[in-house]
Amino acid sequence: MSRLAAFGRFWWDFVIGDDWLVAVLVAAAIGATAAFAHSGVTAWWLLPLAVLLVLWLSLRRAIRSA
Amino acid sequence: MVEALTIVLAAGVARGWRSALAGLGAAALALAVAVAALGPALTVIPIDALRLVVGALLLVFGLQWLRKAILRASGYRSLHDEDAIFTRELAEARGAARIEHAGLDWYGFTLAFKGVLLEGLEVVFIVLTFGSAQGSISLAAAGAAGAVVLVAAVGIAVRAPLARVPENTLKFAVGVMLTTFGIFWAAEGAGAHWPGSDASIAGVLGFVVLASFILVRLLRRERRTQLRTAELRA
């Protein structure tokens, strides 16, 4: 069981890393892009802006916790 | 890769080159098997679904790198010091007990194996994602192999940790590239259409570079103000 937990922890650290909020917000932004695109609205601009916001929020969190 | 080289050098100097190189070889073999096994499996997934998943993973992974690089460049995190890491690894390796298996020093073998495997997994991830999304895993793998050979050759030539390599700059560049392709592929996979199709990658790249530099400048200024305020209070 501990090996399984260690395996899960390794992949969590590898993909999610130091800030889980990045993964959550990126997933939400991709979901919003898909929703916009499938309802016929131009959606390419959403992800770059979301990335800028995510990066800024994540940097603020890292600085606060330093 | 520079970090993996530092670990192998520490293992080689402290515990003997035979065990360190055996660990390096075993890890390289395991990574090659991972690419060979996962590569063909990825090519059968529909391209839009693949770009969505690959784009999302690249984006999350790239933002991790970019975040760390921006924090280092703005002074909120210390820069990677390969000399310090080498000294620490060397001290730990010299202090460990000697246990032999199959004529190899087990500590040296395991240290090199784990170091190369863990660092190499990042490379495998990038090779598989870039290669599968562009339809040429073998070309991406050849590029990565070329970089490994180059780092190994420099390591053998200098027989020292690559402290002079501008690692933060390299990681900044990798973070920017991963984020750029992550944005592009994730948006395409989600059904968005980029104006100018593939040509818009240059625009996304410019946007990510500009945003990163602005963030570094803002955080640097904030850091300087914080340090000045702390000095005045002291």
Q: Do the domain assignments include residue A38? A: yes
Residue B70: pLDDT above 90?
A: yes
Q: Where are the alpha helices (H) located in A1-66, listed in sequence order? A: 2-15, 20-38, 46-65
Contacts of B121 in chain A (CB under 8 A): 14
**B189 and B48 Cβ atoms separated by less than 8 Å:** yes
pTM equals 0.72
Helix axes B106-134, B2-15, angle to 10 degrees: 160
**B223 and B78 Cβ atoms separated by less than 8 Å:** no
Domain tally, chain A? 1
**B204 and A59 Cβ atoms separated by less than 8 Å:** no
Contacts of B193 in chain A (CB under 8 A): 37, 42, 44
User: Three-state DSSP class for A66?
Assistant: coil
The 10s digit of each residue's pLDDT in B130-189 is 777 766 777 777 777 777 777 777 766 665 555 555 667 878 888 898 899 899 989 998
Q: Would you state the structure tokens that stand for residue B215, as one six-digit string?
A: 């963030």
Chain B residues 98-137 with CB within 8 Å of chain A: 121, 125
**B185 and B204 Cβ atoms separated by less than 8 Å:** no
Q: Do the domain assignments include residue A43? A: yes
Domain tally, chain B? 1
Confidence band, pLDDT 50/70/90 cuts, at residue B221: very high
Confidence band, pLDDT 50/70/90 cuts, at residue B116: confident
For residue B101, the enclosing domain spans 2-233
Helix axes B17-43, B2-15, angle to 10 degrees: 150
The C-alpha of A44 sits at a distance from chain B's nearest C-alpha, in angstroms, of 5
Q: Do the domain assignments include residue A44? A: yes
CA distance B152 to B4: 10
Instruction: Name which of B203, B56, B195 is nearest A42 in CA terms.
Output: B195
For residue A23, the enclosing domain spans 16-65
